[in-house]
Every structure is written in C-alpha cells, then in structure tokens.
C-alpha cells in the first residue's frame, strides 16, 4: 500500500494567493487572495529535506492563485526540473509575457479556460480570449503537454467547448465544481452520445480522433491521500488543514501520512 501511495506522491505549490482573473466559483485552494508569495529559498529547503529522506514527489503542480504572478516562477520550475521531477503548472495563461520564461521547464500546462467565445470568456473570467490563444500558440512551440481545465456549468456549452478544444487539438478535463453548485453533475452528461468512449477510469477518447477527455469531481476529498499543499500560508495534507510554515519538522509527519 505504501509503495502504491509513494508512486503517486504529488505536491501542489501555491506560489501566490493573487490572481488577475475573477471567476465567481473560485475557491483559490482555500487561501486568502493576498500576494503571500512562496519563495524559491523555502522550496529549496523543503525539497532538500524530502530528498534527504529519498521522498521526492512524482509530480509538482505550480499553482495559486495565478502562479505566473510570482516573479520566481521560472527559477522554481527550473529548480524542480533539475531534480528530474515532472513539473506541471495550472494557470489561466492570460499573461503571455509572464508565461514564456517558464515554458522550457514545464512538462504539462493545465490551462484554466471557461469559454472559446470571446464575450463569454471575458465576462466569466475577465481574461481576454486573445491572450489565451496567443499563449496556447506559443506553448505549442515547446514539448509541453497541454490540457484545458473547464468547469461544468452548462451541458450544452460544455459540449460546444469540448468540440472547440478538439479542433485545436487540446485535451480537456471537465471539472464538477465543489458542492456541485451548478446543479449539473458529470453523470448527467451522456459522453457516449457526444462521441466519446471510456478507455480508462475517468478517461474518454473521441471515436474519430485522438482527442482525450478526463472527468474530475472537485470535492472535499480532493486528492487528500496523494497531494501535499504547500503555500506561504502553511503546509496542508488536505485543503482544510493548515500548519505553520515555519515548523519544517511537521513536514516529516505530513510526508509520513502520505
């Protein structure tokens, strides 16, 4: 059992609580929306400790808030890459100039996008679609896996969204939000009828292309057994539990739990 859990050990680094988007459903990983920057220095300290215990994670997710607003994001990604860790980043990618320096050090970019319709996207997130398309075109020049994360809000619009993503060769992850606030769940959509067949747990493929679709329920049990959350506000083994960031000793306990 321990071996299995260690194989999927992930750390989500909450690089900042700040974000330039304005999604109404944002839970911001349980953080406040202040800047609260996580520093490279502190990350090095934590990863030095993990490495000495031979317990480096399989994947690190750079997250936030909006991680590109942390000026050290490139150096943080570069440091993690030097440890041969799979590095992914969850971002709204609305700031192409801030994204560009990080791209060489990313294995995967999880793009938060609400709509491929210009007006709807601006209304929903406050981030212009043109900025996101520019960032996607830039990212495609790098060997980075791209996936768009999309909240399930409206069945018809989500199906249209998936079709647009497929035309752009962007895999999708459809997320049922915390508490299913939109009263529509992943089980309410007939994925087969919309051209997708299940090929693995929560994974679907399009019948006539290589396009992939993943489904995720975002609830309070979200990744709790596999993911450690580290931010300037504390270290957590699950979203609702915080501990002092100054007490590195507690890290041992949290890692042992995982």
Under the criterion CB under 6 A, does residue 138 sit at the interface with ligand SF4?
no
Compare residues 63 and 237 and give the one whose CB is closer to ligand SF4: 63
Does the protein bind ligand SF4 through residue 65 (CB under 6 A)? yes
28 near ligand SF4, judged by CB under 6 A: yes
Q: Which is nearer to ligand SF4, 65 or 234 (CB)?
A: 65
Beta carbon nearer to ligand SF4, 69 or 251: 69
Cβ at position 23, least distance to ligand SF4 in Å: 3
Q: Using CB under 6 A, which of 8, 9, 21, 42 touches ligand SF4?
A: 21
State the Cα–Cα distance between residues 94 and 112, nearest whole angstrom. 10
Size of the site for ligand SF4 (CB under 6 A): 11
Smallest separation (angstroms) from ligand SF4 to the CB of 92: 4
8 A C-beta contact, residue 56 and residue 6? no
What part of residues 92-121 is at the interface with ligand SF4 (CB under 6 A)? 92, 112
Q: Kindly state the smallest distance separating residue 5's Cβ from ligand SF4, in Å.
A: 27
Residue with Cβ nearer ligand SF4 (57 or 64):
64
> Which of residues 8, 23, 56, 159 is near ligand SF4 by CB under 6 A?
23
Binders of ligand SF4 among residues 29 to 48 (CB under 6 A) are none
Under the rule (CB under 6 A), what is the footprint of ligand SF4?
19, 21-23, 26, 28, 64-66, 92, 112
């Amino acid at each position: 059992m321990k071996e299995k859990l260690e194989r999927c050990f992930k750390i989500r680094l909450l690089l900042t609580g700040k974000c330039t988007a304005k999604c109404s459903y944002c839970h911001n990983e349980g953080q406040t929306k202040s800047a609260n920057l996580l520093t490279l220095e502190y990350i090095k300290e934590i990863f030095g400790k993990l490495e000495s215990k031979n317990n480096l994670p399989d994947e690190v997710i750079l997250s936030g808030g909006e991680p590109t607003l942390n000026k050290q994001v490139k150096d943080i990604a570069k440091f993690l890459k030097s440890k041969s860790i799979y590095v992914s980043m969850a971002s709204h990618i609305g700031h192409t100039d801030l994204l560009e320096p990080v791209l060489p050090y990313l294995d995967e970019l999880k793009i938060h996008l609400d709509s491929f319709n210009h007006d709807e996207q601006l209304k929903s997130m406050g981030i212009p679609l043109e900025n996101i398309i520019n960032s996607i075109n830039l990212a495609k020049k790098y060997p980075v896996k791209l996936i768009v994360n999309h909240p399930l809000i409206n069945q018809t619009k989500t199906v249209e969204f998936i079709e647009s993503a497929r035309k752009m060769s962007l895999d999708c992850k459809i997320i049922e939000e915390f508490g299913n606030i939109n009263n529509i769940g992943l089980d309410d959509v007939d994925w087969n009828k919309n051209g997708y067949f299940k090929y693995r747990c929560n994974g679907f493929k399009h019948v006539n292309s290589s396009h992939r679709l993943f489904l995720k329920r975002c609830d309070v049990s979200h990744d709790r057994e596999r993911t450690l959350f580290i931010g300037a506000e504390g270290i957590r083994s699950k979203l609702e539990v915080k501990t002092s960031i100054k007490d590195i000793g507690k890290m041992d306990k949290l890692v042992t739990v995982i």
